[in-house]
């Protein structure tokens, strides 16, 4: 499966909508559609909850909106996991854990798109967020951590297979909002250990391998030695730093990688400060910088996707700014493709 860039549009999975139909309209307005994650529509539409089904030791507290993990229960229930390791149904996201995902899979338009996409929370973010009975993140328990990486790889591969049954040109990217935290001095999970674990995890995944994050990590962590095909980032906030990694970016692109440039703001205050022209200007400025440092703009464009900068669930105007952001996104893409004669 060869991925085409040419400033096609896509987006991270999370939307602020409560109405599934309204969210689907947004998700299908981009060139690479995705199934929306709608945490405002219910706790089970949250990306952390969606991967917990059949995870040993985990229970969901619906009333208090909490994911609980108990170490003793983990060891009691792990046998059930072993028995079902080859059973894809055991790893599917069923209707309780996402009505939206199941609805997405029934949409007849999916087979008509050149590429379709799913997403899943990644093991680093999940392991740092979910804590045991002693309030210790489970990523610090080596046995649980090893299981977590394997379990999520199985969940992601089953999701990808489901999508591929509808459209063979499909992939699932990993959402890692917590990745930036491993570079802080306060974490006991070092970047070196995380990279070794994450590289092995990426190697387990089927299809094109992608990571999305909105933070600002050490970008060499993601650009070098992981075997990623796609890197999706918030360049509106982090682009000026990201483009300084010119040698790593050159190698990533020369190896066929796709950069998804998250450029359109979805936070209302930021959105009101931008226009189509200012966003185009910021992209051109970053691409010109890379061109002047030995990465031809033609190559950057041919291996670029465009996306909103990040998800946003806190706007006072509800869905309005986010929906306007997607309109901006499509117009930015249209103008660039016209200017540079991209397919």
Q: Looking at the predicted structure, is the pLDDT value of residue 49 above 90? A: yes
pLDDT of the residue at 7 = 98
Mean pLDDT computed over 82-110: 96
From residue 124, how far is each of 8, 197, 257, 276 by CA, in Å? 28, 9, 22, 35
CB 119 within 8 A of CB 174: yes
pLDDT computed for residue 341 by the predictor: 97
Q: Model-level pTM? A: 0.96
Q: What is the pLDDT of residue 2?
A: 85
Residue 195 corresponds to which tokens in the numbers above?
């990279």
pLDDT band of residue 286 (cuts 50, 70, 90) is very high
pLDDT band at residue 186 using 50, 70 and 90 as cut-offs = low
- Per-residue pLDDT band at 190 (split at 50, 70, 90): confident
Taking CA atoms, 341 is separated from 6, 9, 35, 68, 93, in Å, by: 9, 16, 30, 52, 40
Asked whether residue 183 carries a pLDDT value surpassing 80, the answer given is no
Mean pLDDT of 23-42: 97
Mean pLDDT of 181-199: 83
Look over the chain and give the mean of its residue pLDDT values, rounded to a whole number.
Answer: 96
- The model's pLDDT over 222-234, given as tens digits with 9 standing for 90+, comes to 999 999 999 999 9
By CB atoms closer than 10 A (0-12, 13-18, 19+), residue 306 is buried
pLDDT of 87 reads 97
**What pLDDT does 46 receive?**
97
- Cα–Cα distance between 114 and 98 in angstroms, integer? 25
Residue 180 binned pLDDT confidence (cut-offs 50, 70, 90): confident
Phi-psi region of 170 (alpha: psi -120 to 50; beta: other; left: phi over 0): beta
Name the band, by pLDDT with cuts 50, 70 and 90, for residue 185.
low
Residue 149: its pLDDT value, please?
98
For tokens 């105007």, the residue is 317
Q: Which residues pair with 170 in a beta bridge?
A: 116
Q: Residue 187 in contact with residue 217, Cβ under 8 Å? A: no
From residue 92, give the alpha-carbon distance in Å to each of 52, 84, 96, 100, 291: 11, 12, 11, 14, 44
Q: Would you state the CATH architecture of domain 8-339? A: Alpha-Beta Barrel (3.20)
d(CA 21, CA 168): 25
The residue-averaged pLDDT of 275-297 equals 98
Asked if residue 181 has pLDDT above 90, the reply is: no
pLDDT at 322 over 90: yes
pLDDT bucket at 191, cuts 50 / 70 / 90: confident
pLDDT of residue 284: 98
Percent with pLDDT over 70 in the chain: 99
- Read off the pLDDT of each residue in 320-331 and give the average, rounded to a whole number: 98
**Residues 317-341, mean pLDDT to the nearest whole number:** 97
């Amino acid at each position: 499966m060869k991925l085409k860039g040419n400033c096609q549009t896509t987006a991270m999975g999370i939307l602020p909508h409560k109405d599934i139909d309204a969210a689907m309209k947004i998700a299908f307005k981009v060139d690479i559609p995705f199934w929306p994650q709608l945490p405002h529509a219910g706790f089970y539409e949250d990306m952390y909850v969606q991967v917990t089904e059949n995870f040993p030791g985990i229970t969901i507290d619906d009333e208090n909106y909490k994911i609980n993990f108990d170490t003793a229960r983990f060891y009691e229930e792990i046998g059930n996991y072993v028995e079902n390791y080859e059973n894809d149904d055991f790893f599917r996201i069923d209707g309780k854990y996402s009505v939206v995902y199941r609805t997405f899979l029934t949409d007849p338009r999916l087979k008509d798109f050149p590429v379709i996409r799913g997403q899943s929370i990644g093991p680093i973010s999940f392991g740092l967020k979910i804590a045991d009975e002693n309030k210790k993140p489970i990523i610090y328990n080596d046995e649980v951590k090893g299981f977590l990486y394997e379990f999520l790889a199985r969940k992601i591969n089953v999701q990808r297979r489901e999508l591929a049954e509808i459209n063979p040109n499909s992939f699932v990217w990993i959402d890692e909002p917590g990745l930036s935290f491993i570079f802080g001095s306060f974490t006991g999970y070092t970047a070196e250990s995380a990279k070794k674990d994450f590289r092995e995890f990426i190697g387990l995944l089927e299809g094109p391998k992608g990571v999305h994050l909105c933070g600002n990590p050490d970008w060499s962590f993601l650009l070098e030695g992981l075997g990623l095909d796609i890197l999706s980032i918030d360049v509106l906030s982090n682009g000026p730093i990201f483009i300084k990694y010119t040698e790593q970016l050159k190698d990533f692109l020369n190896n066929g990688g796709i950069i998804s440039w998250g450029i359109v703001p979805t936070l209302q205050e930021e959105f009101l400060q931008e226009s189509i022209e200012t966003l185009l200007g910021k992209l051109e400025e970053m691409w010109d910088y890379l061109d002047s440092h030995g990465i031809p703009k033609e190559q950057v464009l041919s291996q670029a996707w465009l996306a909103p900068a990040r998800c946003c669930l806190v706007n006072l105007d509800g869905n309005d700014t986010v929906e306007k952001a997607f309109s901006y996104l499509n117009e930015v893409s249209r103008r660039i493709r016209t200017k540079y004669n991209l397919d």
